[in-house]
Amino acid sequence: MFREVETLPPVTSAPQVAEGGDVTVIQSGWRLGLRSFAQNRLAVVGLGLIVFFVFFCWTGPLFYHGNVSLSELSQANTAPVVGHPLGADVNGFDILGQLMVGGQASLEIGLLAAAIATIVGTLWGATAGLAGGIVDGVMMRIVDVVLSIPLLFVVLIVGAKWGSSILSLALIIGVFSWLVPARLVRGEVLTLRVRDFVAAARAAGSGRSRLVLRHLIPNALSVVVVNITFQVADAILLVAALGFLGFGLNFPVFDWGDMLAGGTNNLLNGYWWEVYPVGLCIVLTVMAMNLIGDALRDALDVRLRRR
Amino acid sequence: MTTYLLRRAASSVIILIGISILVFWMLHVISGAPGRAVLGLRAAQQAVDAWNKSHGFDRPLILQYLTYMNQLVHGNLGTSYKQTLSVNTILAEHAPVSAYLSGLGLFFAILIAFPVGIFQAVKRNTLGDNVITTAAFVTYSMPVFLLGLLLIQIFAITLNIFPPGAPAAVSQNSSVIGAIEDPRAMVLPVATLTFVSVAAYSRFMRSSALDALAQDYIKAARAKGLPERLVLMRHLVRNACLPMVTLIGLSIPALLAGNLITENVFNYPGLGIMFINALQNEDYPVLLAYTLMGGVLTVVGNYVADIALTVADPRIRLA
């Protein structure tokens, strides 16, 4: 969507040689997708950014020891200097060090919440799509109900009550955001069931389990994989909003949103280093996830690729 | 058409009932027997139990739900024990200013996003399209509060054109008159909400217009020699706007969330500030009443969008 990949090699669906066939080159849809992903420069930039942030947050603290837990009021609100390359916040904590440690929490919550949402949503959607009938109806109405309620409200209410650690917050966000993947997977299973290649596989004598494992799941998976990236981005934004509003993690654990909450009070004093570095980290991470998601969608989604 | 709308109405009612069950259940799990919250930590356990019993919080869950539903359909959203006020009073006090802010934000978002999306689709892959796409993409990836802070930094602190907070009259007594009388102070909050929505809407509008451009009726219109201006105005714009009606209906939860965060950035005392204050006071009847309201708004908004689409698109009417 963001950048259309227009000329791509035609999609030759992998020949499924049942037995004894002379298999030379099988170019699977996934490998083709991977190639077109690599050709998308913005996607590679996005991937590079994510790799950078992972190294920055997890190996950074091994080399750079910023004070993030002992308040030093003599250092409060220091502008960037040699000891504090990005300055210090209201408690005298080093901003660069906080960026690294806080990023760990933000990324962990984002990934964990997306994983929970994806697993629950995929199972829910696949069950509803395969079961059909009244089971499908009831399951999807439940999805409609939860989807109608603003996610931020529910996560704020439940998060303020029970979510003060990385695990609990990720669990709460995940538990309330599996609805979109559920809808996607159900829709995909419904359309795949009646597609020609499934009929062809059935005609070729594939059993039910082979149909599900070889044809339905791999084809529905691309939708799920694309959605994971957006899910991570949304979860990172959501947890940042929670932190900003003051209902995030409990000290000494903190994420990028918590840092912004503290810095905002000092924006009118001109302490820009308490707001913009951490803001940039959030925007770059979320943007990188969205870039990867857009590229994956172009690369894996067969319908989009044909257009 | 009527059968379609009736069917949709029936499923909307089912979803509304589902929402009421979910919200009631959440209220029950989080603060099932509010006696302790009402009487305070030092009250004797017997007094707390007696209060809960006299207010019916010891009855079976299904009976409590029926009472709750009975109150709901009579327009009673419950009582805030923390503020000893009815939730209706509290919501009614804050709703007008929020509606004013969100309404303006949505109005300007639509006003900007529609032409921008059409422009991008018509001039696709040109410099202008790429610049707008990039800007929308960055805004889309930005937390709402950061956008608000950036606007405060640029226009309130550096340039000193607009005030950084809500109009003073609004902050004091949540009066919507105060908000209307001070349009300068409304610029930044409204702009924050507008930008966030424009980023999402224009992205969608662009792809919707691209889809429409590829249709045969556009080719037919061009082939019969219609001037390009008329092709765009008569055929493209109308058709490209149709999916947007659905999108706006679907984006109500996001609008409410954006409203909540924007109000907190600019200290604009509408429902968003009310929500955060209630959260700090653990005033769950207020929190869940607003959540319920959000859910109802979403369902009703989606239904209205469906009706609007049916009216606007004869293809749906005939099907």
The pLDDT of residue A72 is above 80? no
Question: Cβ contacts of residue B96 below 8 Å, gap of 6+?
Answer: B174, B176
Chain B's closest residue to A278, CA to CA, is B146
Report the SS3 class of residue A94.
strand
* Record: contact B141-A1, CB cut-off 8 A: no
Report the SS3 class of residue A18.
coil
Contacts 24+ apart (CB under 8 A), A177-180: A177/A113, A177/A117, A177/A151, A177/A231, A177/A234, A177/A235, A177/A238, A178/A116, A178/A117, A178/A118, A178/A120, A178/A121, A178/A124, A179/A121, A179/A143, A179/A146, A179/A147, A180/A117, A180/A121, A180/A147, A180/A227, A180/A231
- Of A5, A61, A11, give the one whose Cα is nearest residue A37: A5
Q: pLDDT tens digits for A127-177?
A: 888 777 898 889 999 999 998 888 899 999 888 888 778 899 999 999 998
* Averaged pLDDT for residues B206-229: 87
The whole-number pLDDT of residue A235 equals 92
The whole-number pLDDT of residue A9 equals 47
The whole-number pLDDT of residue A2 equals 42
Residue A80 — very low, low, confident or very high, per pLDDT cuts 50/70/90?
confident
The whole-number pLDDT of residue A304 equals 41
The whole-number pLDDT of residue B157 equals 82
Chain A's closest residue to B208, CA to CA, is A1
Judge whether A249 and A169 are in contact, CB under 8 Å.
yes
Within 61-90 of B, beta carbons closer than 8 Å to A belong to none
Q: What is the mean pLDDT of chain A?
A: 80
Query: Does residue A282 sit at the B interface (CB-CB below 8 Å)?
Result: yes
Residue A4 — very low, low, confident or very high, per pLDDT cuts 50/70/90?
very low
E strands present in A20-167: none
**C-alpha of A208 from chain center:** 32
The pLDDT of residue A111 is above 90? yes
Query: Does residue A280 sit at the B interface (CB-CB below 8 Å)?
Result: no
Shortest distance between the Cα of A43 and any Cα of chain B, in A, equals: 14
Nearest-angstrom CA–CA distance, A192 and B7: 27
**Ranges A125-134, A295-304, B3-12, B200-209: which has the least confidence:** A295-304
Q: Find residue B86's DSSP bridge partners.
A: B79
**C-alpha of A55 from chain center:** 18
Return the ∠ at Cα B288 (arms to B285 and B289), rounded to 5°: 80
Nearest-angstrom CA–CA distance, B33 and B52: 6
Chain A's closest residue to B17, CA to CA, is A145
Q: pLDDT tens digits for A254-267?
A: 888 888 887 777 77
Which of B22, B153, B279 faces A156 most closely, judged by CB atoms?
B279
The pLDDT of residue B7 is above 80? yes
Within 100-159 of B, beta carbons closer than 8 Å to A belong to 125, 133, 137-138, 140-146, 149-150, 152-153, 157
The whole-number pLDDT of residue A28 equals 64
Which of B15, B133, B265 faces A141 most closely, judged by CB atoms?
B15
Shortest distance between the Cα of A24 and any Cα of chain B, in A, equals: 39
The whole-number pLDDT of residue A6 equals 42
The CB density around residue B184, as the number of other CB atoms within 10 Å, is: 10
Judge whether B256 and B293 are in contact, CB under 8 Å.
no
B315 vs A103: which has the higher pLDDT: A103
* Averaged pLDDT for residues A237-253: 86
Shortest distance between the Cα of B138 and any Cα of chain A, in A, equals: 7
Question: Cβ contacts of residue B312 below 8 Å, gap of 6+?
Answer: B242, B245
Within 226-245 of B, beta carbons closer than 8 Å to A belong to none
E strands present in B188-262: none
